[in-house]
């Protein structure tokens, strides 16, 4: 085993850990319910104003 191979393995593991942490942090955004009530890739829905509210 050469030092270069060990460094390549370490770099590969570092990238895997980085992507795993990003997926852990950002994955919630992809599976959470949308805050505007839409579903999937529909366009943005403007919230409906409450009845009697000022325009």
Whether the CB-CB separation of 18 and 7 falls below 8 Å is answered with no
- Please give the structure tokens belonging to residue 10: 């370490």
Q: What is the Cα 10 distance to its own chain's centre?
A: 25
Write down the pLDDT at residue 37: 74
Q: Of 45, 24, 49, which Cα lies nearest the Cα of 36?
A: 45
- Maximum distance among all Cα pairs of the chain, rounded to whole angstroms: 75
Residue 24 pLDDT > 60, yes or no?
yes
Q: What is the mean pLDDT of residues 19-33?
A: 90
Per-residue pLDDT at 6: 95
Structure-block tokens of residue 7: 């460094």
CA dist 33 and 41 (Å) reads 12
By percentage, how much of the chain surpasses pLDDT 70? Answer: 78
pLDDT at 40: 74
Q: State yes or no: pLDDT of 53 exceeds 60.
A: no
């Amino acid at each position: 085993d050469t030092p270069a191979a060990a460094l390549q393995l370490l770099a590969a593991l570092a990238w895997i850990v980085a992507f795993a942490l990003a997926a852990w942090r950002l994955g919630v955004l992809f599976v959470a319910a949308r805050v505007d009530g839409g579903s999937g890739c529909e366009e943005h829905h403007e919230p409906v104003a409450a009845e009697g509210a000022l325009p």
